C-alpha cells in the first residue's frame, strides 16, 4: 500500500472514531506525526515565548539520549515524519546530530533560530532528510533585533546561506503583524539574497498568546492527539504542541512497553476523548483555538489521493497534462 493510501486509510478510521466517540488508535493502521522536544532551553529571549517567560513545566533542560531512543523505537512503526523541536533551540542539544541521524530515512522537521557556530550549521546543512524552519523575522539588524532578542543578525545571515546551499530543505519563517507587514518585500528580498527560493518562505501571523495563558476562554474542540504523538524534554507524553501544564501531562515514556501502550494507555484515551468533545475541560486548553474541522484535514488528504489517481489515469490513456 502506498504511503498516501495508508495515510488516507488512517484518516478515514480516525474520522469514524471521532464521530462515534471512540478514542483508541489501531497500531496496525495509524499514521502519525511524532513530535519530540530535544531541549527546553534557548539562547534567545523572544517576547511571548513560554521559555522566555519561564512558563514551562520541565524537570530536564535536555532530553536524555536513552529517553529519545526509547521514544523513537516505540513510535517508528506508525511514524509518517518526526518534528524535533517544541519550546527550546534543538541545535543546543549536544547529541542533536546523532538524534537526527537515527531518524533516517523519515523526513524530519525542526525549527531553529540559527544562532550557533558555522560548524553546526554545516552539519545541519548535510542532513538531506531534514526540513529546516529558520526563525528569521527581520531583513536587517534593527528589524531582526525587535523580536529575536539576544540574536546576532549577521550569524543568522551566514547560517541561512550555509543551509540554503546544503542538502537540507530550508524554509525561512517570518512572524507578521501590522507593524512589519509593509516590510514583506524586504523580508523576501533578504531570503532570496541568501539563496532561498521565494516559494520556500513561510509567512506566519504573530501569536501574542503563544504562551497559552489560562486566564482566557475560547470554545472549541481538539483532534490533535488523533494524528500526533508529542513528548517533552522530560519524556512525558502530552496531547499537542501547545504549552500544556501538568493537567495534560499524560504518562512518561519509561512506563510504556509496547506501541499500543503509547497509543492507547488509559490516560491518553481519556484525554483524546475529552478533547474531541470540549477542549475546555482542561485549564491548559482554554485560550487555544483548538484544531480546524477534521473534515478539512480529511479533505486535504482526499484531494491528494484524487490528484494521484487522476495522474495515473492520464498516463494510462497516454495523456501528458
pLDDT tens, position by position, 30-58: 778 999 999 999 999 988 788 887 877 88
Beta 32-36 vs 228-231: how paired, if at all? parallel
pLDDT tens, position by position, 90-144: 999 999 999 999 999 999 999 999 999 999 999 999 999 999 999 999 999 999 9
The distance from CA 142 to its chain's CA centroid, rounded to whole angstroms, is 28
Q: Which three cell numbers stand for residue 48?
A: 511571548
What mean pLDDT is predicted for residues 172-199? Answer: 93
Instruction: Compute the C-alpha angle 53/114/121, nearest 5°.
Output: 145
Residues 6+ apart with CB under 8 A from 234: 40, 58, 59, 60, 63, 252
CA distance 137 to 133: 12
DSSP three-state, residue 288:
coil
Q: Which residue has the cell 492507547?
A: 264
pTM of the model: 0.86
DSSP three-state, residue 145:
helix
Q: Which three cell numbers stand for residue 234?
A: 522530560
User: H-type helices in 174-218, by residue range?
Assistant: 184-193
Amino acid at each position: 500500500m502506498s504511503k498516501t493510501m495508508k495515510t488516507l486509510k488512517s484518516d478515514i478510521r480516525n474520522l469514524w472514531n471521532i464521530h462515534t466517540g471512540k478514542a483508541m488508535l489501531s497500531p496496525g493502521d495509524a499514521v502519525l506525526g511524532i513530535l519530540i522536544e530535544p531541549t527546553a532551553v534557548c539562547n534567545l529571549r523572544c517576547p511571548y515565548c513560554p521559555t522566555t517567560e519561564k512558563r514551562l513545566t520541565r524537570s530536564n533542560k535536555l532530553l536524555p539520549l536513552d529517553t529519545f531512543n526509547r521514544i523513537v523505537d516505540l513510535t517508528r512503526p506508525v511514524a509518517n515524519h518526526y518534528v524535533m523541536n517544541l519550546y527550546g533551540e534543538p541545535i543546543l542539544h549536544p547529541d542533536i546530530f546523532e538524534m537526527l541521524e537515527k531518524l533516517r530515512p523519515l523526513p524530519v522537521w525542526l525549527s531553529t533560530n540559527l544562532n550557533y557556530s558555522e560548524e553546526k550549521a554545516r552539519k545541519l546543512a548535510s542532513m538531506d532528510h531534514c526540513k529546516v524552519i529558520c526563525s528569521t523575522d527581520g531583513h536587517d539588524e534593527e528589524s531582526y533585533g525587535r523580536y529575536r532578542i539576544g540574536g546576532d543578525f549577521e550569524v543568522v545571515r551566514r547560517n541561512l546561506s550555509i543551509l540554503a546551499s546544503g542538502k537540507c530543505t530550508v524554509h525561512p519563517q517570518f512572524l507578521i503583524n501590522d507593524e512589519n507587514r509593509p516590510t514583506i518585500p524586504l523580508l523576501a528580498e533578504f531570503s532570496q539574497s541568501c539563496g532561498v527560493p521565494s516559494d520556500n518562505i513561510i509567512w506566519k501571523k504573530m501569536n501574542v498568546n503563544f504562551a497559552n495563558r489560562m486566564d482566557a476562554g475560547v470554545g472549541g474542540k481538539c483532534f490533535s492527539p488523533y494524528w500526533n504523538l508529542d513528548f517533552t524534554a522530560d519524556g512525558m507524553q502530552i496531547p499537542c504542541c501547545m504549552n500544556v501544564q501538568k493537567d495534560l501531562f499524560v504518562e512518561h515514556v519509561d512506563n510504556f512497553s509496547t506501541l499500543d501502550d503509547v497509543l492507547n494507555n488509559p490516560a491518553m484515551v481519556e484525554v483524546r476523548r475529552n478533547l474531541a468533545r470540549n477542549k475546555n475541560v482542561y485549564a491548559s486548553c482554554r485560550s487555544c483555538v483548538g484544531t480546524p474541522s477534521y473534515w478539512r484535514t480529511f479533505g486535504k488528504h482526499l484531494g491528494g489521493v484524487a490528484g494521484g489517481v487522476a495522474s495515473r489515469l492520464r498516463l494510462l490513456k497516454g495523456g501528458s497534462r
